[in-house]
Amino acid sequence: MAEASVPVADPRAPQTGSAETNPFQAVTLFFDRAADQIGLGDEMREILRTSYRELTVQVPVRMDDGRLEVFTGYRVQHNAARGPYKGGIRYHPDADIDEVRALAALMTWKTALVDVPFGGAKGGVQCDAREMSVGERQRLTRRFTNSISYLLGINRDIPAPDVNTDAQTMAWMMDAYSARYGYTPAIVTGKPIELGGSLGRDAATGRGVVYCLAEAARDHGIELDGTTVAVQGFGNVGSWVARLAPELGCRVIAVSDVRGGIVSHDGLDIAAIARHEAESGSVVDAPGTEPLTNEELLELEVDVLVPAALDRVIHRGNAERVRAKVVMEAANHPVTPDADDVLEAAGIVVVPDILANAGGVTVSYFEWVQNIQQFRWEEEQVNAELHKRMKAAWATTHARATADAIPLRLAAFSIAVERVERADKLRGYAS
């Protein structure tokens, strides 16, 4: 099928705010620091600072009450030198072009750092999915998929779940795409198992965070037995971190969601909280726990803090009150650049998002491989391969940080930018 002409990203597009408030400017700042660190040439800087392609679409949806509501959706493709574009789809009122751009660029650096053969992309629809019925969400998903479908392809661009989207959303996306182009399970990852999803994908991001925590603790001399952990967010990523961290001997003492948090200094019974959340829709008021706010959770005296909800939750205004020894960035971009500097000066180990939460895209890669080969792996194999890749990514990043005496984030970005630069040069995009 011939490719329709599509708009090209305008690098001069106006951006508001600063790196502290604008996520794309923040990710660009992290990139610039890495570019300076490795002495990246001007041509490559120009290519890698902006997205390759950005599509904005209207998503008209007939709501249950008969009204037509017109949402705005985005698919941003940042770089595909190392493989097809890859990145999740987010449904959130704050999903604007700068947020989606930032997350697309982070995907390029993440896939390069964990060395899976993908580039970086992200999508989003600006909507409050939690206020929408299942039927409305399904109609939104199908319309959005149709609108961006000519950018997608199993060797071109492969979406996945993100905030407020899940395996069911991916099933609708796959069905909408397959209705047009023929049965194509590999077009999305994070699907239900019955439709070609991978065993272990649901837990993969959280499991990867926990694997990475084990490595970070060992190399930083932190004893994990009895270590206290607080997790912000109890969705896909946060709930799996909370469930799996106790396997390392950690005690999870606080968790939260959009409605608020709960704490128990003796340690939370995560299975009981998951049941309470499934019944009531929130972790709040789980039996045997004390309430606390999301802000208080971030400032708790714990060994390990895991922001696993939204971006920019640790910022200039609260960074000095963070008391953890380690911050595992399970969410994307939870720490602003100013806050990053404050945490660094305080000697807090910050394990950056492109490393800590890369387990999701790693198992998405395994899912794509399984779909293409039409062969299902055992869950043990998925987890063992994930473990191997997370350990390797940690070891490479930690070794660079130690050798160059730089923070983990700068080391991770430097390695990722070098890999993408190499691929872009081999393809002949720049010298």
Catalytic positions are 122
Cα R_g (the chain), whole angstroms: 21
Choice between 9 and 170, CB closer to ligand NAD = 170
Selected from 162, 367, 421, 424, the binder of ligand NAD by CB under 6 A is 162
Among positions 258, 271, 384, 392, the unique one binding ligand NAD when judged by CB under 6 A: 258
- Within 10 angstroms of residue 225's Cβ, the number of other Cβ atoms is 8
Q: Which two tokens stand for residue 373?
A: 């080969």
CB of 91 to ligand NAD, least distance (A): 9
**Residue 223 vs 379, nearer CB to ligand NAD:** 379
Closest CA to 164 of 125, 195, 202: 125
Categorise residue 285: left if φ over 0, alpha if ψ from -120 to 50, beta otherwise. Answer: left
- Strand 251-257 relative to strand 228-232, pairing: parallel
Least CB distance from residue 83 to ligand NAD, whole Å?
18
Residue 169 CB contacts under 8 Å (≥ 6 apart), including other chains: 89, 91, 137, 141, 161
| Token digits of residue 365 | 């890669």
In the complex with ligand NAD, the residue whose CB is nearer, 149 or 357, is 357
User: Could you say which of 77, 138, 198, 256 contacts ligand NAD (CB under 6 A)?
Assistant: 256
Return the amino acid letter for 124.
Answer: G
* Interface size with ligand NAD, residues (CB under 6 A): 24
Q: How far apart are CA 54 and CA 59, in angstroms?
A: 16
User: Residues 34, 121, 163, 176: which binds ligand NAD (CB under 6 A)?
Assistant: 163
Does 153 contact ligand NAD by CB under 6 A? Answer: no
Query: Scanning residues 358 to 397, which ones bind ligand NAD (CB under 6 A)?
Result: 360
Using CA atoms, how far apart are residues 392 and 17, in angstroms rounded to an integer?
37
- Decide: is 257 part of the binding site for ligand NAD (CB under 6 A): yes
Among 231, 310, 339, 412, binds ligand NAD (CB under 6 A): 310
Among 233, 337, 352, 407, interactor with ligand NAD by CB under 6 A: 233
- Residue 281: Cβ within 10 Å count: 11
By CB under 6 A, is residue 28 in contact with ligand NAD?
no
User: Phi/psi of residue 299, each to 5°?
Assistant: -105, 10
Stretch that binds ligand NAD, among 28-36, 136-144, 284-292, 307-315 (CB under 6 A): 307-315
For the chain, the maximum distance between any two Cα atoms, rounded to a whole number of angstroms, is: 62
One-letter amino acid of 22? N
Residue nearest to ligand NAD (CB): 235
Q: Provide the 3-class DSSP secondary structure of residue 126.
A: strand
What is the DSSP code (8-state) at residue 323? -
Residue 332 is a binding residue for ligand NAD (CB under 6 A): yes
Please identify which residue in 205, 228, 289, 370 interacts with ligand NAD, judged by CB under 6 A.
205
The least CB distance from residue 157 to ligand NAD, in Å, is 17
* Residue ranges that bind ligand NAD, judged by CB under 6 A: 161-164, 205, 232-238, 256-258, 294, 308-310, 330-332, 357, 360
